[in-house]
Structure formats: C-alpha cells, structure tokens
Amino acid sequence: MASMWQTVQAYYSWALENGDKRTDPWLLVYSPLPVALIFSFYLLVVGFGPRIMQKQEPFRLTGVLIIYNFALVVLSAYMFFEFLVTSVRASYSYLCQPVDYSQSELGLRMARVCWWFFFSKVIELLDTIFFIMRKKFDQITFLHVYHHATMIFNWWSGVKYVAGGQSFFIGMLNSFVHIFMYLYYGLAVMGPRTRKYLWWKRYLTILQLSQFLAIAVHTSYNLFTDCDFPDGFNAVVFFYILSLIVLFSNFYFQTYISEKRKKAT
C-alpha cells in the first residue's frame, strides 16, 4: 500500500513539474487542486442548491444577467479574435500544428488566449448558479452539468501542457459559437420586448453541433497522421467530442423533433 502511495506521489510530482513553464505561474494553472476544489464546490451547489431554494422565492437577477451575458459576448469575441489573428500571423496549420513553447511574442500571445479560454469556462459555471437562484431547475440537465464541469478540467490540462498548437482550433470555434450563444441568453433575459428576435434558437443548436463535428474531424485526422502533437490529448478530445455530439443530438431531437411531433398529434 505504501509503495502504491509513493507511486501516486511520484506521478503527481512529475505531472506538476512537467507542464508548460510559461503558464505554470498563471492563476489556477500549476496544480490541479484549485480546479478540483472549484469542481467539488460546483457539484455541491448542483446537488444542494435546488433543495435550499425550494422554499425560497426565485431571484430576478435581470440586471445582473444582462451584464453577465453581454460581458461573455465581449469576452468570447475577444478570444475568437485572438485565436484567429494569432494563428494567421504565426502561419498555423489547420491540419497539424505543434505547440510553440518558445517565449516568442506570438507563442506567448497564443498561450495567453488559451488561458483566457480556460478561465472563461470557470466563469461560465455561474450559468448553473444563476439557474438555481432563479429556480429554473429544468435547465440543469445532465448535458448542462456534464459539459460545464468537464470543460474546466479539459482546458486546465490544455493550458498546463499544450497551450497552443492544435488546441487553438477548438478554442477558436467554441469562442465563435459562444458569441451567439450568450447573445441569445442576453436577449432572452430582457423579456417579452426581445422575444421576436429569438427565432433562431434551433439554428444555435445546429451551430453547436456543427462545431463539434468540425472538431471531431480535425482531431481524428491527427490521430491517424504523423503530427508532432500528443496523441493522448487528441484521443481524449476525440472521445469527449463524440460524447457531446451524442448528448447534443439527443437534445436537438427531444427539443425540436419529438416536441414538434407531440404538438402535431
């Protein structure tokens, strides 16, 4: 037993010390413990929050949500711009792009936007907390919790070990989609006066599914070709994206096809 514990400690020390030296000093990056604590707190809120709110009046939060959602629109637009411009200026390949671990201007610029993308996933955990405070419990589905909780770990490991390279494609696409997603949420919270502008919810889901398919194709290509990017990361991303495709496809079917058939019947 002691030997097993020593092995775990040795592996943990190795994992800490073999990250990207550029990103290790940055907030929440060096050790997985802060992210694990955030993850644990998030699950506690998901588990006990609805019970605590059961006998409480729902919070309105209209002003807070307008600021929150439109702030995330701005942040997403900034990250998309940084991913796109940096990758173009650095002549990134869309087929195979190793990580630039240098201290160059563009290498650090890409690493920084990867960190911002990771940190945005921590911020987005507030989506769930706001649902609970507003007693929108039907929005807290398995898909919602799974996606939010796992993204912080996925992108912590991305910033810790591969801040750039192939990762830029995922961050760039997801930031683009989130511009429209948080724009939709921001308009939705403004009430009936903006409802006529929200006819495109179905197309937003299609856009989300399209990004997952693009990421799956992009990642799988690198699993079967010789590319100087860790196969382990590509494999994890590929199977994770497949899980999201399955879950979002089910959401699309249940929301837009099954419900439509029920109404028609």
What is the C-alpha to C-alpha distance for residues 224 and 238, in angstroms, rounded to an integer?
Answer: 12
What is the C-alpha to C-alpha distance for residues 255 and 27, in angstroms, rounded to an integer?
Answer: 39
- pLDDT reported for residue 162: 96
229-260 as b/e, with b when 16 or more CB fall inside 10 Å?
Answer: bbeebbeebbebbeebbebbeebbeeeeeeee
Residue 124 CB contacts under 8 Å (≥ 6 apart), including other chains: 72, 148, 151
What is the helix (H) or strand (E) element at residue 63, kind and residue range? helix 62-89
> pTM value?
0.94
Q: Which residues are catalytic?
A: 147
Residue ranges for the chain with pLDDT beneath 50: none
pLDDT tens profile 153-164: 999 999 999 999
Instruction: Say how many CA atoms lie within 13 Å of 91 toward its Cβ.
Output: 0
pLDDT tens profile 63-101: 999 999 999 999 999 999 999 999 999 999 989 999 999
- pLDDT reported for residue 259: 67
Q: Which one-letter DSSP state was computed for residue 24? A: T
- pLDDT reported for residue 5: 82
